[in-house]
Amino acid sequence: MGRIIGIDLGTSNSVVSCLENNEPKVIVNEEGSRLTPSVVGFSKKNERFVGEIAKRQMVINPENTVHSIKRFMGKRFDEATEATRMVNYTVVPTERGGVGVKVNGGVYSPQEIAAMILSRLRKSTEEMLGEKVTDAVITVPAYFSDNQRQATKDAGSIAGLNVVRIINEPTAAALAYLLAKRRSATIGVYDFGGGTFDISIVEVADNVAEVKATSGNTRLGGDDIDQRIIDWLLAEFQAEYGIDLTHDKMVMQRLKDAAERAKMELSSALQTEIHLPFLTADESGPKHIHKTLHRPHFEAMIEDLLFKTIVECRKVLSEARLSPSDIDEVVLVGGSARIPRVQEMVKELFSRPINKSFNPDEVVAIGAAVQAGMLEGNLPDIQLLDVTSLSLGLEIEGGQFARVIPKNTVIPCRRKKVVSTITDQQRSVKINVLQGEAEIAQDNISLGEFELTGIAPAPRGVPRIEITFSIDVDGVVNVRARDRNTGQSQGIVIRSFAGLTQKEVSALREEQRQREEEASTNREVRRLRNALERQIFDLEKLLHQHRDELQKSDVSEIEKALQRGRMALIKSTDRVAYFREIHDYMYEFYMSLATRFGP
């Protein structure tokens, strides 16, 4: 195992970090930025662009530009209806009921789109470090289900990464705090990102970060705040002109960009101007939007969203059996935490200082790098005790949910539950594995089903079926059932049936590898073609300057070489070896002349 990098795969932006001499270092991408927009664009020729270049084409090509893919990771299509309203590309159901993203006539899973982002992050890291990277720690929202965690691991695998650990985002922020502060404290990590919200209470002491409780909402983030501004603009436009803009995806993308800018500007200004000319036109001429949004109005339109985060904060304090006064410090994470009203509400609840010494956009990736250093053995004195964010159990008679591993249990963990048959002479038992907090089974997330067969016939309630649940350090679930009487057993490594099979993941990883090799070959061909063009120019220049001093046979040979070089440039081939051979051939002629006549 080589160097392990830490990746914060965000809804809006992604960040990579690693340790250099046990100090975190944020990777700078090709554009010179520490943030890479989590955006993938497709051209008409099906070329792929990731990051800032993809984000720039969102307005002119919204249907083929994919953003906020994290909100669809590991979800069934019927769970993603709300999120589809916030994007301008086409989302369709897959055969297994999962989410598919339709661009350029093809359909991609969220894992594939996320893999394109991760692949770009990996390549940026390799270029900056000058070494190959294969291992990574990837962060996820604390309230991600097993399905969503599995989908994230699959995305990493497709991108050519060995995901050695999945770590919760607030936990990662706590590790960054621990490395920087090295003091005892009970901290609240308030993580309000582009698509999700998490709150965790973490006790930091003696180089140990122990998560006491965590809570959150995977359907609440900066995108929802942007949508409130968009809805306001749409309503104002409709009232003024009587025109519905929602069916024009290019206009909707312009509104989304304007809403995001307005939100960001209102973090430092008391008002902002939203000016969008030529949105549409009718018989009377072009129609524009020119509105002034004041901070109090903005805060009023999002107050209920922000209050939801405070509800989760109160819930997590209760689960940790703590009061606000027990919290020493609050660490803010995520771009949405920059909103002044957010900071006011957090201060009002905790009556404690907000730690602003960390960059909210980078602290999670830094914490992931700290976890990577722990796994590498470079930070042996730091320990982490994390918890499961959702209860795990099974469906029992009457459609009820029976908890086996309660929420906020320290992981890794293993628990057992004994069940029996519900009818006489029953020969098999179906096990429906669930994750969530609802008392009714169908209101929770079904992680999968399997059947234990070969049970000896007996009256109902007599057979003793032992079911073992385990959650590993990544939060990934395994379940096994065994008939104590017959010894018959059946197990399942839970995988989302709305997601990808291992075979599909392997095939997509190979496809991604081939695509990267092809892209690398194309880059090398372009480099050699450029070098060959320069070589021809330099050789022509030398020949022009010294033609009179050369013998006719030499001139003829050089002209033949030049002709061969020019023909190579117009030849349709992508063979690196061919261009390298021609380049080297031309170089020999150039060096013979340069040596003979000097520079």
Give catalytic status of residue 135 as yes or no: no
Q: Could you write out the DSSP letters of every residue in 366-382?
A: HHHHHHHHHHHTS-TT-
CA 528 to chain centre: 35
Give catalytic status of residue 131 as yes or no: no
Q: Could you write out the DSSP letters of every residue in 270-309?
A: SEEEEEEEEEEEETTEEEEEEEEEEHHHHHHHHHHHHHHH
Residue of 79, 112, 154, 191 marked active site: 191
Report the C-alpha gap between 337 and 564 in whole angstroms.
62
Residue of 169, 203, 312, 395 marked active site: 169
CA separation, residue 416 to residues 393, 402, 490, 494 (Å): 10, 12, 14, 16
Q: Are 152 and 495 in contact (CB under 8 A)?
A: no
Strand partners, 273: 292
Residue of 8, 223, 386, 474 marked active site: 8
Residue of 55, 70, 153, 263 marked active site: 70
Give catalytic status of residue 30 as yes or no: no
Report the C-alpha gap between 11 and 144 in whole angstroms.
13
The residue among 256, 247, 195, 228 whose CA lies nearest residue 58 is 256
Report the C-alpha gap between 537 and 452 in whole angstroms.
75
At residue 220, the 3 state secondary structure works out as: coil
CA separation, residue 231 to residues 60, 66, 313 (Å): 21, 21, 27
Q: Are 154 and 188 in contact (CB under 8 A)?
A: no
At residue 186, the 3 state secondary structure works out as: strand
Containing 52, the helix (H) or strand (E) segment is helix 52-56
Cα(first)–Cα(last) distance of the chain, in Å?
49
CA separation, residue 120 to residues 40, 127, 167, 318 (Å): 10, 11, 21, 41
Residue 571: partners with Cβ closer than 8 Å, 6 or more residues away: 578
Tell me the two tokens of residue 570. 């117009």
Report the C-alpha gap between 239 and 588 in whole angstroms.
74
Give catalytic status of residue 70 as yes or no: yes
Q: Are 371 and 175 in contact (CB under 8 A)?
A: yes
Burial of 503 (0-12, 13-18, 19+ CB in 10 A): exposed
Phi, psi of 354 (to 5 degrees): -95, 130
Residue 101: partners with Cβ closer than 8 Å, 6 or more residues away: 66, 69, 72, 89, 90, 91, 92, 107, 108, 109, 110, 113
Residue 170: is the preceding peptide bond cis (ω within 30°)?
no
The residue among 405, 410, 408, 411 whose CA lies nearest residue 392 is 405
Active-site amino acid positions: 8, 70, 169, 191
